[in-house]
A and B are shown apart, each in its own frame.
Chain A
Amino acid sequence: SQTIHQWPATLVQPVGSPLSLECTVEGTSNPNLYWYRQAAGRGLQLLFYSVGIGQISSEVPQNLSASRPQDRQFILSSKKLLLSDSGFYLCAWSVLRQSGNGNTIYFGEGSWLTVV
């Protein structure tokens, strides 16, 4: 079965410090990978998605970036964090099959980031 791992689970970072959140998926190959953010009391916002190694699509202009160095690894980074970067970050995956499957997206447990 497929599993998704995301870490760290929680972190507190000072303004201006760098960020690295890592996500790996096991049990599948060539998945679509996603990073979402959920600010406190708000819905999920798609930040990045990737359909393959080195292929990143950005949905929202910001000081965050994403990379996919390996097929099942997705990294969210920032060189200098802002207070507004605080939130709940979620990695997710899906596999695009025939239409009958519906390309279901599965989420990890999330990472709580507090920028102080």
Chain B
Amino acid sequence: DAKTTQPPSMDCAEGRAANLPCNHSTISGNEYVYWYRQIHSQGPQYIIHGLKNNETNEMASLIITEDRKSSTLILPHATLRDTAVYYCIVRMYNNNDMRFGAGTRLTVKP
């Protein structure tokens, strides 16, 4: 699976959009981009995933660049409850492994 690079930490003001970047320059054509988050002392929560096209669901939007070498997770209106560690993962759909890196610690401030 391709490796990912994320900033270790970010801050965001409550009510503003949180944009979390992820670099995955070695991604292959059949690898998906997944985003999870982990609130302290809880299991990781699935947020969204995509292959080539931008994706949106009730939690967030995923923007993937045309060359697929990077992506951005967007939380449109961050709340204090969005404070968590966010993980960007790249893997093939039939790979039974899901390797988490260090992620980005997002702190939403009032």
Question: Assuming A44-B100, A99-B30, is B93 touching A110 (CB within 8 A)?
Answer: no
Interface size class, chain B: 20 to 34
Of the listed residues A32, A44, A59, A101, the one surrounded by the most CB atoms of chain B closer than 10 A to its CB is: A44
Query: Within the assembled complex, what's the spacing in Å between the Cα atoms of A105 and B34?
Result: 10
Contact B42 A109 (CB under 8 A): yes
- CB within 8 Å for A106 and B46 given contacts A43-B101, A46-B99, A99-B30: yes
Given A32-B96, A43-B102, check contact A105 B46 (CB 8 Å).
yes
Contact B96 A49 (CB under 8 A): yes
DSSP class of B's interface residues: helix, strand, loop or mixed?
loop
Question: In the complex, what's the smallest C-beta–C-beta distance from B89 to chain A, in angstroms?
Answer: 9
Q: How many A-B residue pairs have CB under 8 A?
A: 58
Shortest beta-carbon distance from A94 to chain B in Å:
8
Closest to A10 in B: B41
| Complex Cα spacing A99 to B49, Å | 12
Contact bitstring B38-56, A, C-beta under 8 A = 1, else 0:
0001111110010100000
- Judged by a CB distance under 8 angstroms, whether B98 is at the interface is yes
User: What residues of chain A have their CB less than 8 Å away from a CB belonging to chain B?
Assistant: 32, 34, 43-44, 46, 49, 51, 57, 59, 88, 90, 92, 94, 96, 99, 101-110, 112
